[in-house]
Structure 1
Amino acid sequence: MPQHSETVTIYVTYEGDATTPFDRDYYVNHHLPLVMQAWQPHGLLSASALFPAQPQAGTIALCECRFRDEAALAAAFAAPQTPGVIADVANFTGVTPVQVRAVPLA
């Protein structure tokens, strides 16, 4: 019997405050399409950007990346396009992103 695999969710967060440079337009219109182009062939299902409603200290941007399963996540991060995805961060912020893995509560 085949084993059921669950999707894997990674949150990429950027921390700062209202004065921290972060080009939201570039992030949404260039970086996320780059992420999808690089990782979708390996099993990335979606990538969504979220921003705080009001400028504040703390998380200034968050990206939710959903992968088909563990193998898809591993394949995407090992893909030859991944260094280009990481290098592109410098085009919209100087903040170092932090990856957080999410798991269902139940």
Structure 2
Amino acid sequence: MSEAVLFVIYRGASDDRFDREYYSAHHLPLVRGAFAPHGLVSLAAFYPAQDNPGTIALCECRFADASSMERAFGSPEASAVMADIPRFTDLQPSRLRAISL
């Protein structure tokens, strides 16, 4: 089996509420703690270099394999991760599963 990659993307305008400090200091550690036992291998967040409408933030989640990703998002811990989103943004994230070329 090969590693599975998921991008969590927050899209909006530069004036949409997105608390980067909270996201980096609280949400990402929450995700890591919740999903690592289910196969999360690494987690990285990125922000656009310029303030333009479009992507506000992007998170790359690497899991050991596709079944690990499914277990993580189906776990009881996933509800706490999802419930934390309104604490840093009003935007709804979209998920994009990626495959290696």
Q: Is TM (by shorter chain) over 0.5? A: yes
Per-residue CA distance 1:72-106 (angstroms, 9 max, x = gap): 1111011111011001000000000000011112x
SS of the aligned residue for 1:66 comes to strand
Structure 2's unaligned 5+ residue stretches are: none
Quick one: which of 19, 23, 39 aligns to 1:43?
A: 39
Quick one: which of 83, 92, 97 aligns to 1:87?
A: 83
> Structure 1 CA distance, aligned partners of 2:54 and 2:89?
15
> Structure 1 CA distance, aligned partners of 2:61 and 2:67?
14
Question: Larger Cα Rg: Structure 1 or Structure 2?
Answer: 1
Q: Which runs of 4+ in 1 moved over 4 A?
A: none
Structure 1's unaligned 5+ residue stretches are: none
Q: Counterpart in 1 of 2:15?
A: 19
Q: How many residues align?
A: 101
Per-residue CA distance 1:42-76 (angstroms, 9 max, x = gap): 10001111000111100010000000001211110
TM-score, normalised on structure 2?
A: 0.98
